[in-house]
Structure 1
Amino acid sequence: MKAKPLIAIAMAASLLTACQSTGPKETIGGLGGAVLGGLLGSQVGGGRGQLVAVGVGAVLGGLLGSSIGKSLDDTDKLMMERTTQASLEHVQSGQTSTWSNPDSGHSGTVTPVKTYETSSGQYCREYQQTVTVGGEQQEAYGTACRQPDGSWKIVSG
């Protein structure tokens, strides 16, 4: 990735965190969302249009990540991670796995949608994920690839 998109991502992330007083979950969620949004934006267009897409992606990703991050507690995140790992490993494409935390009322789903092997022999899966916080559902799409230790690592999202 070029230096200019990274600068745009960093600037957007710092602007997001400077605008409000946030807790650690919200800050981490916002920064993570800004980075992912910026990465997705960097895949759009070229030249000036690409820089604009990076900035917009970083801001929108930061806002979404911040919103989810401020609400998910450690148990929610653990349940989501375990469900995602198990779904990517054991569930057929098109089948949905769910998680639900009765203490927080938060829930989510993970649905693998496509499995493929890269030219280097690495297995990857595209998936759809939802998270419901306070009755409001957010959707995300991503790709995860199997690591040498057998775990799945998100490579885009």
Structure 2
Amino acid sequence: MRTCVSALLAAAMLAGCGTASETPKEQAGTVIGAVVGGMLGHQVGRGGGRAAATIVGAIAGGVVGQSIGRSMDETDRMRTAQVLETSPTGAPTHWRNPDTGADYTVVPTRTYASAQGPCREYTMDAVIGGHPEKVYGTACRQSDGSWQAQR
């Protein structure tokens, strides 16, 4: 429990480090990346090093999430939503954004029902400015049919 609080605290600190010029999608990417990174760090860390692994994971996830959030435009978000809506679990979908040059591959990894509707876990491999990045996320379908990343 204390480690989860540490992860959320690290995510909050990262969100608080945003600048006035940071876009909402960068801010969202930072928070989502920090939470996911913190959870992954918590799973990897053992014993007394678990808290440190959680915090490092949150920081690294925040940096990756911000970068992807900055580079994704509306077309990329729509393509990601389309993958979540129509692609079978385990099937990779790849595209290249002709405007930004970024490459994305999204793979739904698990589908499950929640109180608000269907949710899907996914991985996203992105190559942005020649730098490969990987994000693990969960998104749920909203009542209007859109997909929203969960924090």
Structures share a fold, TM > 0.5?
yes
Identity %: 40
Number of residues of Structure 1 aligned to a counterpart in Structure 2: 147
**Which deviates more from structure 2 when the two are superposed, residues 105-114 or residues 46-55?**
46-55
Contact 2:33/2:135 (8 A) holds in 1:
no
> Structure 1 residue 135 and structure 2 residue 130: aligned?
yes
Distance 2:105 2:136 in 1: 12
Q: Secondary structure at the match of 2:90?
A: coil
Structure 1: distance between partners of 2:93 and 2:118: 20
TM-score by structure 1 length?
0.67
Change (3 A) 1:67 1:121: closer
* Residue 128 of structure 1: how far off its partner (Å): 1.9
Which 5+ residue runs of structure 2 have no aligned equivalent? none
| Contact 1:106 1:134 (C-alpha < 8 Å) held by counterparts | yes
Q: Cα distance, 1:133 vs. partner?
A: 0.9
Q: Is the 8 A contact 1:38 1:57 kept in 2?
A: yes
Tell me how far apart the structure 2 counterparts of residues 69 and 146 of structure 1 sit (CA, whole Å): 20
Q: TM-score under structure 2 normalisation?
A: 0.69
1:125–1:31 CA distance, 2 compared to 1 (3 A): closer
Distance 1:42 1:153, change over 3 A: farther
* 2:130 aligned partner, one-letter code: G
More RCO (CA 8 Å, sep 6+): 2
Please say if 1:59 is aligned against 2:55.
Answer: no
Q: What is the aligned counterpart of 1:85 among 81, 85, 105?
A: 81
How far did 1:86 drift? 0.8
| Mapping for residues 77-156 of structure 1, pairs under 5 Å | 77-118=73-114, 120=115, 122-155=117-150
RMSD of the TM alignment (CA)? 3.6
Q: 1:94 corresponds to which letter in structure 2?
A: G
Q: Which has the larger radius of gyration?
A: 1
Q: Deviations over 1:25-49 (max 9, x none)?
A: 5963445533442354456779965
Call closer, same or farther: CA 1:63–1:98 in 2, change over 3 Å.
same
